[in-house]
C-alpha cells in the first residue's frame, strides 16, 4: 500500500455576497480604489495558481473564478 500524495494546488473562497447595508446597498466589491475594483484587489492578493470561488452574484473580474450563491441569497 502506498500513501497518497496531497494536492499542492491552493484553493480560496472569497465572500462577496452581502447586502452592503452599511454602504446603503452600494456594491462595495465594485468600488474602485487605486484604479481597480475592491474585488480585484482581493483576488490579486492570492497566488496565481489558486483556484478561487467567489460567493456572490457574478461580476467582471481580472482573473477567472468560479461563482456560487448562498440560498437564500444575502
State pLDDT tens for residues 40-67: 999 999 999 999 999 999 999 999 999 9
The yes-or-no verdict on residue 73 having pLDDT over 70 is yes
User: What pLDDT, on a 0 to 100 scale, did the predictor assign at position 68?
Assistant: 93
Question: If DSSP codes are grouped into helix, strand and coil, which group holds residue 36?
Answer: strand
CA-to-CA dists, residue 60 to 15, 27, 30, 33, angstroms? 15, 13, 9, 16
Neighbours of 25 (CB within 10 A): 9
Of 13-17, 38-42, 64-68, the poorest mean pLDDT is in 13-17
Share of the chain above pLDDT 70, in %: 86
Amino acid at each position: 500500500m502506498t500513501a497518497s500524495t496531497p494536492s499542492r494546488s491552493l484553493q480560496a473562497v472569497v465572500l462577496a455576497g452581502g447586502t452592503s447595508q452599511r454602504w446603503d446597498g452600494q456594491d462595495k466589491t465594485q468600488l474602485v480604489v487605486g484604479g481597480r475594483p475592491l474585488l480585484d484587489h482581493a483576488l490579486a492578493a492570492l497566488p496565481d495558481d489558486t483556484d478561487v470561488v467567489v460567493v456572490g452574484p457574478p461580476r467582471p473580474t481580472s482573473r477567472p473564478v468560479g461563482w456560487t450563491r448562498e440560498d437564500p441569497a444575502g
